[in-house]
Structure 1
Amino acid sequence: MKPAVLDYARARTLDDALEWLAAGDGQVKVFAGGQSLGPMLNLRLARPAKLIDIRHIPQLRAIEADSRMFSLGATWTHAEIEDGMLEDPTRGLLPFVARGIAYRAVRNRGTVGGSLSHADPAADWVSTMAAIGAIIEIRSAIAPARSVVAHDFLRGAFTPQLAAEDILCAVQIPRFSPDMRWGYYKVCRKTGEFAKAIGACVVDPRLDICRVVAGALNGRPLLLTRTAAALQQDGTDKATALVRDEIEDMLATLDVAHRQQLAVAVERSLAQLNDPWRS
């Protein structure tokens, strides 16, 4: 299969890319690694008139950090995070998640920003960024720059809060303390497949952060607030006991097997909080 005929341009600056997008009347797409867009082009599920290559834009590789936040440029690849080529403010969570994404060939080219922009609910970064409370930075040539909380970034499956002229430029990640603990578990039929269910939890008492997330749904990840409150106040045993009830209450219309998978994923992520190597 081959893509439909299209034009190609390589942007050297972020402003160039934004201007081309704004002038494209919705018929222009950007790509960096192309691991999501490439197959869609080949299947002709996407037929843009023009592709803009943003891999070589320095602003999208920028790393900025202060005592509270760490800003990760959108075109850093999964493999670079896996290999520790940049600072990790999450005490091992980001490299752990990156190692489990698809296969090494995909990780070598796929980017954090591209994965989030594709907005597949089963993608690892979607649930991970919701669990850590990341903030998505978005730029446009025709509107002010804006920030969106990662949990709210998905309007629905494959529908991010991005207009046709927008580019996801960076992800702001909290700089966690040495007290941080985390768990991450996904249910897959085989290695490399998208998850059937994801459980993610992050606890940092010093920053008063405690989140429990169920992911790989039909839209944005689900924040399990009752489970998180129990985890913060009473510990993992009480939190684990609440998982199934909260999932049943909030996802009553979901298939029984899928609810079971979600419950198992979240429970196993909570169990990982007690692993000494994660703290």
Structure 2
Amino acid sequence: MKAAKFAYTRVFDVDEAIEVLAKAGGTAKAMSGSQSFGPMLNLRLARPAQVVDVANIPALRAVSRKGEWVEIGAAVTHAEIEDGVYPPLATHPMRQVAGGIAYRAIRSRGTVGGSLAHADPAADWVVTLAALGARIVLRSPRGERTIEADGLMLGAYTTVLEADELIVAIHVPSETPTTRWGYHKVCRKPGEFAEASAAVYFDVSRKRARVVLGAADGPPILLNEFAAEVASKGAQAAGRDKVSAAVGLALPDRDGIDRKLFTACVERALEQSDVFSNHKLAE
């Protein structure tokens, strides 16, 4: 199939993009890397009257360090993060995640902001940024607002974004000497969508403890009580029975095989993070 007819507009300024989206009255869609949106157009699952290409807006292609945070432009590609193109992300945990997203051809065009706006439950950035406690910056004719990454998705392929609103930046915490991070996903074969995933993030200097499940058919699921137990009690709170119990509470309607997949993801993410190398994780 081919896409239904639409008008195409390429913009080079955020304000111009927002103006075009606003004038369209809900009939226009922003497009960046087009790796998810393009197939949806071709399958006619999306039929916008106008497509607004924001991939070449300079402000959306920058990365900078701002205090304890790193600001990532929404049009930065997965491959650029993977390759360490931007110094503030050269040693960041996001590099590890970026290298495992789909295939290199996809990573070369797909963008962080586009992935978030698409809101596929199995997407890597959805669960990763929720675990990091990232903040998403949105802009519209009404101004700018910032939301928590774990509050962006309402459901599969559904977000809090308004029709005239654009993701312009993502703020992630910079790494510290006490950052402990892990991410693991289960795919049928490399490059395919995840059947289950989990991300963990601990940083005693910032008093942060996050364990998040992804690929659960909806928004990422935060295991806050379990994360707090791991942070305060260490390895004794992260035995297989404890992990399995936490996953079971979060996914009560899943069958035993699914719960085992998610349990394995959490266990391997924790192991990868080396979080238990510190005798004291929380104060």
Q: TM-score range by the shorter chain?
A: over 0.9
What's the CA shift for 1:240? 3.6
- Aligned residue number for residue 29 of structure 1: 29
Partner deviation per Cα, 1:155-213 (whole Å, 9 max, x = no partner)? 11111110111100000111231111111100101001110111111111111111111
CA distance in 1, matches of 2:173, 2:239: 25
8 Å contact from structure 1 (residues 187, 197) kept in 2: yes
Partner deviation per Cα, 1:231-255 (whole Å, 9 max, x = no partner)? 1112134224421111112321123
Deviates more, 1:90-99 or 1:32-41: 90-99
- Aligned residue number for residue 150 of structure 2: 151
CA distance in 1, matches of 2:239, 2:89: 27
| TM-score, with structure 1 as normaliser | 0.94
Deviates more, 1:237-246 or 1:105-114: 237-246
CA distance in 1, matches of 2:257, 2:90: 32
- Aligned residue number for residue 12 of structure 2: 12
- Aligned residue number for residue 248 of structure 1: 248
CA distance in 1, matches of 2:70, 2:92: 14
> What is the one-letter code of the residue matched to 2:201?
V
CA distance in 2, matches of 1:32, 1:225: 33
Pairs within 5 Å for 1:56-135:
56-88=56-88, 91-135=91-135
Partner deviation per Cα, 1:11-66 (whole Å, 9 max, x = no partner)? 12111110110111211111111001000011111111111111111121232322
How high is the sequence identity, in percent, across the aligned residues? 45
Pairs within 5 Å for 1:264-279:
264-274=264-274
CA distance in 2, matches of 1:72, 1:6: 30
CA distance in 2, matches of 1:117, 1:36: 10
What's the CA shift for 1:10? 0.7
Deviates more, 1:254-263 or 1:27-36: 254-263
Q: Secondary structure at the match of 2:29?
A: strand
CA distance in 2, matches of 1:246, 1:112: 29
Pairs within 5 Å for 1:225-244:
225-241=224-240, 242-244=242-244
CA distance in 2, matches of 1:250, 1:201: 15
Q: Secondary structure at the match of 2:87?
A: coil
What's the CA shift for 1:275? 8.6
CA distance in 1, matches of 2:102, 2:89: 23
Q: Secondary structure at the match of 2:261?
A: helix
Alignment of 1:222 onto 2:185: no
| TM-score, with structure 2 as normaliser | 0.93
List alignment gaps of at least 5 residues for structure 1: none
Partner deviation per Cα, 1:85-136 (whole Å, 9 max, x = no partner)? 0134594411110000000000000000000000001000000000100000
> What is the one-letter code of the residue matched to 2:198?
G
Alignment of 1:188 onto 2:187: yes
Q: Secondary structure at the match of 2:219?
A: coil
Deviates more, 1:228-237 or 1:176-185: 228-237
CA RMSD after TM alignment: 1.6
TM-aligned CA distance change 1:81 to 1:151, over 3 Å: same
What's the CA shift for 1:227? 1.8
List alignment gaps of at least 5 residues for structure 2: 277-283
TM-aligned CA distance change 1:212 to 1:151, over 3 Å: same
CA distance in 2, matches of 1:173, 1:102: 22
What's the CA shift for 1:67? 2.1
Deviates more, 1:57-66 or 1:28-37: 57-66
